[in-house]
Structure formats: C-alpha cells, structure tokens
C-alpha cells in the first residue's frame, strides 16, 4: 500500500461483522487511524475476541443517527469511510422488510448526507451486493448490467446502491461501490449460512443441511480477498476521480452449486458426507455469477488466496473457535464415508 494508510483517519461502519472485522484488522496492520462505529456489542465477534477493539477508537451508536455521524466525521477528521453497516440476512429481510429497508436504505443516505455536510472531500466505499443484479441465469453479471432486484433484501441493497451513485453524481462526493460475491471466512457467526453451517455440522459429526435443493449456483469470495479489493478501491479512488460513482464486482469467477461447495468443504476437512437436502428455499435467485474484469483492469485486483486455501483458513478458524479437535472425526459417525 506504499504508506497510503499510515495514520489515515478512517471510519468503518458495520465493524463487528464478517467483512468489517477483517477489514479493521488489515487497516490496523497498515497503520491507519481507525474509528469503528459499533451498534450492538457482539462478544463472539472476531473484532472483540482478537483484542482489535483495543487498538482502534470505538464509537457506540447507530448508522441512522446523523448528528452522531457528523460529530464523528468532524471530530476525527475522517478522510476515508467504509460503509458496511447493513442488515445482511436474506431470511430476516423476508420476515422484516421494513426494518431491513430502514437500516440498509436510510442508513446509507444518512451516512452520505453526513459526509456531504461534514466531510465532503472524504472517499466513501459503500458495500452493495451482487444480489442487485437479480436473476441473470448463468451469465456472469458485469457492472454495465442494470439493477433489477426482486425480493426485500435485493431491493434494499439496490436502493442503497442507487442512492450512493446519486450522491456521487449530484454532489460530487467521492463515492464508489463494491458488489461482492458470497463472502466466506472465519468469524461469520450466522450458522444458517452455507459455509459456517456446514463446517460446524461436520466438526460435530453431523450431516450438513441444505435449505435449497442443492443446485442453486453462487460465486464465492474469501473474505481477505474481499478486503484486498476494498483497500485497493479506496486508494485508487483517492487518486483517480474518474472512479467516482462506479461499482466494482469482486468474486472468484468460479460459480459452484450449494452441493458442490459442501463437497469442497468436506474435501478440505478430509471427509465425505451426504448433506440433508430440505428443498425448502423459495423465491431466491437460482443462479448468480460475476465478472470481475473491471476490478482487474482498473484496480489491478485479483484474488490472492482463492477458494481452496480460503476454505483451509476458514476451517482452521472454526476448529479453534469451536474448540474442535484438529484431526478428522472418528470413523463410524452416522453419515460419514471415508
């Protein structure tokens, strides 16, 4: 990073989440002066467990609190903002669309309005989602594709996406967006997600459960590869105003079905298992893939870790977190085949 981040006043919202924890770790390692906006105290978050919070400034509050955001932006002379705070669970969005819209949409415009009023020269990287593209089948989505959301979560992220680009165009704010593939890595405590849920089940000697029919196709990305993209984008945005208002896809460009992903995890763990297929998922996008060509071309980004090594690191993290034995589970557990 050539010293870019050294002592750089940087605000991270959503710092206790999967991506936020790893991003804060990288920023601290690069010497940034990090300020974390934290709403809920999550003792099991890697940000807390690792002691990282002792190395950053912590502000307790909500991203929808504009006076608080303005105080933070001005008081800490923030010049870079990573806006990750969001309600990210698709199932929760289906049950509580109003709450999801309030957090994801109002939270985004509140942050950007605070930046416009208080820190108009700051660079802002907003976390959008690959879900904003809607169903494109197996064709990889690129950033020229229109946003065409369907359900509540997709719609909330698409609205935030459009608002961010609107602030860039109307007010000249230095804003860019990320649209990441499904992130995985140590620290994701949402056990209903495929990767952490599968790893926990296998460590317990249980069969992993697939909510879908196992044929839903997704692109994946290890969290540290995503962090690399975020850091590169913020650095390039500070130097190149032509990136303002642009979105960037980040993914491995290796779409896998849910069943294939379970098999990859099992291979890394040295076992084979037949998952329980519930076939209960309804209304979700059946197939999604991303093209990361723009990120490669304009940012020089490419995955540094990849799928297999990323899964090995992820499994190791959960072994330690769950207190699991480092060796494969014993022969004879129901559902296991060697």
Q: Looking at the annotation, which residues are catalytic?
A: 153
Residue pair 47/23 in contact by the 8 Å Cβ criterion: no
Residue 335, Cβ density class (10 Å: 0-12 exposed, 13-18 middle, ≥19 buried):
middle
**Tokens read off for 273:** 């298992």
Residue pair 32/5 in contact by the 8 Å Cβ criterion: yes
């Amino acid at each position: 990073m050539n010293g870019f981040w050294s002592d750089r006043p940087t605000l991270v919202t959503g710092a206790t989440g999967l991506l936020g924890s790893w991003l804060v770790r990288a920023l601290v390692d690069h010497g940034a002066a990090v300020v974390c906006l934290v709403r809920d105290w999550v003792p099991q978050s890697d940000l807390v467990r690792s002691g990282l919070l002792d190395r950053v400034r912590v502000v307790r509050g909500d991203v929808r609190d504009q006076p608080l955001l303005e105080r933070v932006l001005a008081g800490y002379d923030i010049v870079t903002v990573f806006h990750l705070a969001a309600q990210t669970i698709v199932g929760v969005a289906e049950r509580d669309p109003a709450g999801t819209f309030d957090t994801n949409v109002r939270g985004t415009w509140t942050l950007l309005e605070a930046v416009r009023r208080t820190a108009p020269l700051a660079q802002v990287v907003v976390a959008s989602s690959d879900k904003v593209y809607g169903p494109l089948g197996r064709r990889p989505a690129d950033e020229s594709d229109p946003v065409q959301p369907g359900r509540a979560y997709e719609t909330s992220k698409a609205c935030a996406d459009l608002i961010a680009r609107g602030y860039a165009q109307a007010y000249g704010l230095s804003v860019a967006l990320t649209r990441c593939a499904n992130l995985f890595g140590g620290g994701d405590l949402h056990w209903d997600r495929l990767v952490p849920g599968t790893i926990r089940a296998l460590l317990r000697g249980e069969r992993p459960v697939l909510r879908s029919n196992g044929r839903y196709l997704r692109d994946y990305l290890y969290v540290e590869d995503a962090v690399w993209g975020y850091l590169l984008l913020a650095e390039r945005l500070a130097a190149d105003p032509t990136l303002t208002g642009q979105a960037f896809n980040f993914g491995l460009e290796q779409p896998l079905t849910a069943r294939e992903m379970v098999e990859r995890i099992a291979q890394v763990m040295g076992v084979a298992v037949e998952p329980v297929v519930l076939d209960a998922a309804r209304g979700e996008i059946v197939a999604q893939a991303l093209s990361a060509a723009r990120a490669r071309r304009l940012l020089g980004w490419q995955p540094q870790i990849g799928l297999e090594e990323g899964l090995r690191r992820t499994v190791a993290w959960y072994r330690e977190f769950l207190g699991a034995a480092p060796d494969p589970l014993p022969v004879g557990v129901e559902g296991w085949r060697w």
